[in-house]
């Protein structure tokens, strides 16, 4: 079911950039698909100023398609925002409304994992209580966690990544000190990653007023999450056995259709993961990563007009374009390095940012290319149980490219986004896509469904 709330005025969206001198902002495509009104976030004044400085490069702060040096972008794109980037270099090869504030749905779980994943050993066991499952919004996607059953941390993470289980998210959040503590840590992690479009209200991405992110930020979350071996393993898992009590188990399947081939979507050759999301308020969201020919590309697609499998089809089309044309594309921006890894803090528009250690940064002109901010590796400070543990982060293979194309074509086909994916065999498990009567992200009432 699609949300029919009106699209916010284009001028209101672009005014965030214009306030900091982006006078040459390109107007949004004339036929941008209608969807839910963008919820209002409440970031601090400092964070708002930094965000509107167009983190990653001035071109990324402009509306519309941004691409240089390459052609042949897919014509049948309907998403309200998308981005193609090289995983290793961080170069943004093409984008459309990269910093537009939109509801993230369950793709926000990438930030949850990037924040909490290293807090507990995979083999650690936890007996779930009723308190662990309190406060889960009605209509949430569930993996089937039950009180009184003991789970390993690994099993809970499989529930998060494969079934987008909000019940598993809440259990891990309670293990981490509670939902409020986890939300605060996620916001701090987003700030460190310089994902300043993101305002976290819940750890699971469920619809809440003011909870927003952007294609740029979601791509940052995926890039840094994939540097962790456990994150990468979980998001690439297709099926797993999940405890049902006693010695019984039931099988759970990943809801990423490009990974599993469910609902008639062809599996994408070389796909790694990463995370999909859906609410009727947010629409479909997806960040995917794939490796071909020794290169790894990241693609984020948010809120396409086409429902059901459309988000996967548009992602696949952008990945195809990147692998075919990416070598010809000149970067339109960069995925910045985290502050904890030496990344340069965002500066107001008009001031050239300082390069991260060892990486030259050049201001954007019509003929210049972007310097790389950050690199394939580096030390990242992770807060785990109050102690800082330094670890080396290694980037997976490289890949990426991206030109521009018509953003006004009709939508791709697909089933209704609310349709449940092939579910678990456990009759008590709620499949992502069940009716959500919970809180609205934009104040819109009515049924909400979420993946």
Q: Among all residues, which ones are annotated catalytic?
A: 106, 109, 164
CA distances to 209, 233, 316 from 193, in Å? 23, 22, 26
The DSSP line for 347-358 is --TTSPPPPPTT
Please name the residues in contact with 303: beta carbons below 8 A apart, sequence gap of 6 or more: 33, 35, 79, 80, 81, 102, 282, 283, 284, 285
Count helices and strands (H / E) in the chain. 10, 15
Ramachandran area for residue 379 (φ above 0: left; ψ -120 to 50: alpha; else beta): beta
d(CA 364, CA 444): 40
Please name the residues in contact with 184: beta carbons below 8 A apart, sequence gap of 6 or more: none
The DSSP line for 2-54 is ---PPPPPHHHHHHHHHTTT-TTPPPPPTTPPP-PPPPPP---HHHHHHHTTT
- Cis check: omega of the bond before 274, within 30 degrees of 0: yes
Asked if residue 367 lies in contact with residue 69, where contact means CB atoms within 8 angstroms, the answer is: no
d(CA 37, CA 3): 9
């Amino acid at each position: 079911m699609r949300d029919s709330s009106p699209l916010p005025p284009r001028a209101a969206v672009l005014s965030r950039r214009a306030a900091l001198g982006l006078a040459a902002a390109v107007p949004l495509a004339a036929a941008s698909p209608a969807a839910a009104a963008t919820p209002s976030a409440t970031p601090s004044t400092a964070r708002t100023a930094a965000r509107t400085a167009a983190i990653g490069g001035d071109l990324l702060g402009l509306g519309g398609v941004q691409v240089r040096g390459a052609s042949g972008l897919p014509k049948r794109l309907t998403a309200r925002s998308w981005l193609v980037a090289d995983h290793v270099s961080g170069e943004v090869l093409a984008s459309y409304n990269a910093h537009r504030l939109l509801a993230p749905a369950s793709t926000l779980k990438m930030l949850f994992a990037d924040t909490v994943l290293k807090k507990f050993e995979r083999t650690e066991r936890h007996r779930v209580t009723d308190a662990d499952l309190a406060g889960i919004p009605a209509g949430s996607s569930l993996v089937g966690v039950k009180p009184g059953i003991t789970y390993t941390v690994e099993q809970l993470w499989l529930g998060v990544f494969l079934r987008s289980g909000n019940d598993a998210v809440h259990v891990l959040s309670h293990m981490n000190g509670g939902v409020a503590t986890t939300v605060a840590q996620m916001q701090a992690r987003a700030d460190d990653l310089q994902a300043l479009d993101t305002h976290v209200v819940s750890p699971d991405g469920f619809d809440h007023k003011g909870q927003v992110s952007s294609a740029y930020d979601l791509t940052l979350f995926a890039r840094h999450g994939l540097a962790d071996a456990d994150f990468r393993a979980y998001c690439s898992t297709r099926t797993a056995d999940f405890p049902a009590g006693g010695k019984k188990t039931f099988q759970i399947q990943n809801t990423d259709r490009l990974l599993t081939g469910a609902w008639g979507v062809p599996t994408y050759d070389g796909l790694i993961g990463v995370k999909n999301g859906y609410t009727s308020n947010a629409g479909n969201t997806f960040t995917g990563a794939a490796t071909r020919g020794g290169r790894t590309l990241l693609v984020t697609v948010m809120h396409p007009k086409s429902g059901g499998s459309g988000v996967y089809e548009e992602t696949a089309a952008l990945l195809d374009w990147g692998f075919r044309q990416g070598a010809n594309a000149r970067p339109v921006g960069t995925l910045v390095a985290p502050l904890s890894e030496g990344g340069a803090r965002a500066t107001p528009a008009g001031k050239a940012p300082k390069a991260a250690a060892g990486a030259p940064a050049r201001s954007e002109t019509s003929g210049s290319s972007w310097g790389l901010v950050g690199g394939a590796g580096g030390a990242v400070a992770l807060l785990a149980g109050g102690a800082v543990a330094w670890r080396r982060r290694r980037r997976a293979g490289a890949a990426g490219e991206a030109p521009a194309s018509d953003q006004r074509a009709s939508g791709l086909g697909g089933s209704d986004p609310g349709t449940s994916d092939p579910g678990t065999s456990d009759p008590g498990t709620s499949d992502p896509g069940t009716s959500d009567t919970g809180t609205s992200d934009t104040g819109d009432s009515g049924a909400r469904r979420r993946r």
